[in-house]
């Protein structure tokens, strides 16, 4: 049976906006899903934001309900600096002309300052255990193309997590997103470091742990 799952954002967790007001939702789908779309909105206001730059990518390494990974960018307007609001996300999918059971989640949104390159999520020291199965970091991208995004453990020698895809939009939504293969668990003191690069900027989120 065709199926969808929202990996991020999770229920009652915070999705941080880039300085341009964008966040990325991501998840997985069964192999027969051919199209996905999404909308998010604030409470009962009725004003909806539609997912843009939708990606649906084959993932041969997954199980029966994880043959594809998806992501989409949402532009959220009207929030003040460092303001946190409650939002609702609905993701729909289709297997040919058959609609898949929609998936929904309530979550929080918070703004962040603007920059040429940021890692909006995850931040330093975050526990990624609940996100390891569909790990899709994102951030702001302004004025330059995204060159690379890597995920490596601090073990000796370091172990790299496979990148499924990397996408950057520096012209309209000013955001990048990467999606990785399932992140293997590690135990303290070993952690993961996520590194994003443009031609002039390198940033890392360190201490990502289970």
Give the 3-state DSSP-derived string for the chain, with helices as H, strands as E and coil as C. CCCEEEEECCCCCEEECCCCCEEEEEEEECCCCCEEEEEEEECCCCCEEECEEEEEEECCCCCCCCCEEEEEEEECCCCCCCCEEEEEEEEEEEECCEEEEEEEEEEEEECCCCCCECCCECCCCCECHHHHHHCCCEEEECCCCCCEEEEEECCCCCCECCEEEEEEECCCCCEEEEEECCCCCCCCCCCEEEEEECCCCEEEEEEEEC
What is the pLDDT, as a whole number, of residue 124?
97
For the cut 90, the answer to whether the pLDDT of residue 43 exceeds it is no
What is the pLDDT, as a whole number, of residue 19?
87
pLDDT average, residue stretch 121-127: 97
For the cut 90, the answer to whether the pLDDT of residue 3 exceeds it is yes
Between CA 193 and CA 126 the distance in angstroms is: 11
Q: Which of 38-52, 99-113, 139-153, 161-175 has the lowest mean pLDDT?
A: 38-52
What is the pLDDT, as a whole number, of residue 87?
94
Using 50, 70 and 90 to split pLDDT, how confident is the model at 45? low
Q: How high is the mean pLDDT of the chain? A: 93
What is the pLDDT, as a whole number, of residue 80?
75
What is the pLDDT, as a whole number, of residue 60?
78
For the cut 80, the answer to whether the pLDDT of residue 62 exceeds it is no
The fraction of the chain above a pLDDT of 70, given in percent, is 98
At 65-122, the pLDDT tens digits run: 789 999 999 999 877 777 788 999 999 999 999 999 999 999 999 987 778 899 999 9
Tell me, which fold does domain 4-110 have in CATH? Immunoglobulin-like (2.60.40)
What is the pLDDT, as a whole number, of residue 179?
97
Using 50, 70 and 90 to split pLDDT, how confident is the model at 46? low
For the cut 80, the answer to whether the pLDDT of residue 35 exceeds it is yes
């Amino acid at each position: 049976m065709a199926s969808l799952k929202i990996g991020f954002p999770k229920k009652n967790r915070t999705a941080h906006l880039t300085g341009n007001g964008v966040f990325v939702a991501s998840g997985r789908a069964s192999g027969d899903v051919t199209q996905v779309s999404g909308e998010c909105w604030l409470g009962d206001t009725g004003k909806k934001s539609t997912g843009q730059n939708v990606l649906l990518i084959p993932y041969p390494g997954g199980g029966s309900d994880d043959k594809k990974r998806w992501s989409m960018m949402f532009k959220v307007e009207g929030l003040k600096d460092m303001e946190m609001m409650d939002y609702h996300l609905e993701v729909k999918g289709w297997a040919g002309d058959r609609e898949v059971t929609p998936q929904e989640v309530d979550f929080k949104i918070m703004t962040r300052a603007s920059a040429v390159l940021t890692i909006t999520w995850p931040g330093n020291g975050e526990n990624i255990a609940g996100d390891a199965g569909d790990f899709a970091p994102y951030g702001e991208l302004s004025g330059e193309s995204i060159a690379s995004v890597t995920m490596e453990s601090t073990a000796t020698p370091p172990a790299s997590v496979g990148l499924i895809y990397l996408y950057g939009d520096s012209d309209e939504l000013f955001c990048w997103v990467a999606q990785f293969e399932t992140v293997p668990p590690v135990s303290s003191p070993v952690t993961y470091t996520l590194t994003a690069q443009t031609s002039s900027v390198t940033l890392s989120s360190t201490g990502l742990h289970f």
